[in-house]
Amino acid sequence: MSEIIRMVEIMKKYNTYAEEITVLDSLNLAIKEGEFVALMGPSGSGKTTILNLLAGIDNTTSGSIFVGSDEISAMSDGQLAKWRSQHIGFIFQLYNLIPALTAFENVELPLLLTPLNRSERKEHVGTALDIVGLKDRMSYYPRQLSGGQEQRAGIARAIVTDPTILLADEPTGNLDGKSAEEVLLLLEDLNSIFKKTIVMVTHDPNAASRASRVTHLEKGILKEDMTKEDIIMNKNRVIGN
């Protein structure tokens, strides 16, 4: 399978008042189409930063990011917004549903950016909610849903546009065991049945074990674990300082 994501020599620095923090330095990462990658690492190691860079919601200090044939690190802000709406589904640790909107309306949001008409949107939302098992809750507001249900609505919102890549930032971080399990099963299905490429940040080894590949980020350095398919990717092995 071909590589769908390529991060090349990524450097990311943050400027605070006092100092400059280098979060990522010469980071390289390649992900193949259809992979389910778990990204682990201690708090503050830069996992969210990597997801944000992949989603095009943050800029690299230097280096290039390719997704498919697009070099997103070269895109303008406006181009990125449009690109995101077509290629990225983002799942948040805190679900981040809009409280004023029902589950249906939350899932419909990304479709407002497409040329789909009302009834087509309704159909797509229906399908997405069906996949996550929330069709009977579509007129519920987030506050009327349990955490697990909120996260599933969040996943429905992420997949409703049928994006190229799903990015999940600690999707089970706030859930109890049972809800977490449901979410993980859902992600596994999305990967195995719907062939979604997934990059999931997690602290939880159990969650990571569902992935086809696990990488550890430590002090700005990526270390590959054994992948399920036992593939060793030499060229994006450890590069650090």
Distance in Å, CB of 14 to ligand ADP, minimum: 4
Q: Which residues contact 116 (CB under 8 A, 6 or more apart)?
A: 124
Q: Does 45 bind ligand ADP (CB under 6 A)?
A: yes
CA distance 184 to 85: 24
Q: Does 84 bind ligand ADP (CB under 6 A)?
A: no
Site mask for another protein (CB under 8 A), range 139-168, x = bound = ------------------x-----------
Distance in Å, CB of 105 to another protein, minimum: 8
Contacts (CB under 6 A) with ligand ADP, residues 18-37 = 21, 23
64: number of Cβ within 10 Å: 14
Q: Does 219 bind ligand ADP (CB under 6 A)?
A: no
Q: Does 81 bind another protein (CB under 8 A)?
A: yes
Nearest to 132 by CA among 190, 57, 207: 190
What tokens does 163 get?
């994006």
Sign of the C-alpha dihedral, residues 183, 185, 164, 14?
positive
Question: Considering only 26-34, 95-103, 130-138, 182-190, which stretch makes contact with another protein by CB under 8 A?
Answer: 95-103
What tokens does 228 get?
């399920």
Per the CB < 8 A criterion, the answer to whether 43 and 49 are in contact is no
Per the CB < 8 A criterion, the answer to whether 131 and 142 are in contact is no
Q: Does 237 bind another protein (CB under 8 A)?
A: no
Question: Considering only 67-75, 102-110, 124-132, 194-202, which stretch makes contact with another protein by CB under 8 A?
Answer: 102-110
Q: Any idea which residue has 């230097």 for tokens?
A: 62
| 45 contact, one of another protein, Mg ion, ligand ADP, none, CB 5-8 Å limit per kind | ligand ADP
Phi/psi of residue 4, each to 5°? -105, -25
Distance in Å, CB of 111 to ligand ADP, minimum: 29
Residues contributing to the site for ligand ADP (CB under 6 A): 14, 16, 21, 23, 41, 43-49
